[in-house]
Amino acid sequence: MTAQSNPPEASAPALVVKNVSHSFGDNKALSDVSLEIPRGRFVMLLGLNGAGKSTLFALITRLYDNITGEIRIFGHNIRRRAMAALQRLGVVFQSRTLDLDLTLKQNLLYHCALHGIRGREARKRTERALEIVGLADRAREKVRNLSGGQSRRVEIARSLLHQPSLLLLDEPTVGLDIGSRESVVNIVRSLVEKEGLSVLWATHLFDEVRPTDLVVILHKGRVLFTGSVPELLAKTATQSVSDAFRKLTGTGTQELAA
């Protein structure tokens, strides 16, 4: 194959972050961060408040443009091939961003329009996305009537409308009750299992990790571990992810619970 017929995305990982640093004035939010998301894997980005998770997301999504280091999405450098890279990317940000006074369907159709998806195709994708998150029967209701968990599910539906292959979710279950948390996690896990989506899920809730996940531990702007759960437990000689986290970061039990 020639280089032309073998575009970057052919075999590249879903996401590569290489030697990325970022400062706010004197505060170094990220120091030489490197990590990778293989295709079709669920990767847990574990870090306490202030670890740098949101800053990393802001760099990957190009909310912040002053990147030190390199970020590639399916092989596309996000600076040099921004369109190709960002087309493959769906995001659920930490703060809620739906219009409460529009219906679920209106919110999603509006987002379709922003992506240049219109008419019948937009309606089809909206219906399908709401089916995936189990809210098709609520399409004509205002978002204001939904619970926190249901709103999160609409945001996930919205993130899927342009059919991304990589999904980033920043603390998507914070503030939700246990049932809603489970339903949100299960929807995203099922997208990985059934659709082959690649996912980076940032959280400080360690009980969301499953033994088959890949884990990245980010602490005070530095990556302290990347690998599988068994590798994490073996490296730290511990029995649980929270114990492993505590040992690696020197964090006390109270800080973990905060």
Ligand X SMILES: Nc1ncnc2c1ncn2[C@@H]1O[C@H](COP(=O)(O)OP(=O)(O)OP(=O)(O)O)[C@@H](O)[C@H]1O
Asked whether the CA dihedral 184, 189, 190, 195 is positive or negative, the reply is positive
* CA distances, 21 to each of 52, 124, 126, 219 (Å): 10, 41, 37, 13
Q: Which residues of the chain form contacts with ligand X (CB under 6 A)?
A: 24, 27, 29, 47, 49-55, 171
User: Shortest Cβ distance from residue 256 to ligand X (Å)?
Assistant: 14
CB closer to ligand X out of 75 and 221: 221
C-alpha 15/C-alpha 18 separation (Å) is 10
User: Shortest Cβ distance from residue 145 to ligand X (Å)?
Assistant: 28
CB closer to ligand X out of 11 and 49: 49
CB closer to ligand X out of 171 and 208: 171
CB closer to ligand X out of 161 and 185: 185
User: Shortest Cβ distance from residue 33 to ligand X (Å)?
Assistant: 11
User: Shortest Cβ distance from residue 50 to ligand X (Å)?
Assistant: 4
User: Shortest Cβ distance from residue 47 to ligand X (Å)?
Assistant: 5
Q: In the β-sheet with 15-24, what is the strand arrangement from edge to edge?
A: 27-37, 15-24, 68-73, 76-77
CB closer to ligand X out of 55 and 236: 55
DSSP per residue, 46-100: E--TTSSHHHHHHHHTTSS---EEEEEETTEETTTTHHHHHHTEEEE-SS--S-T
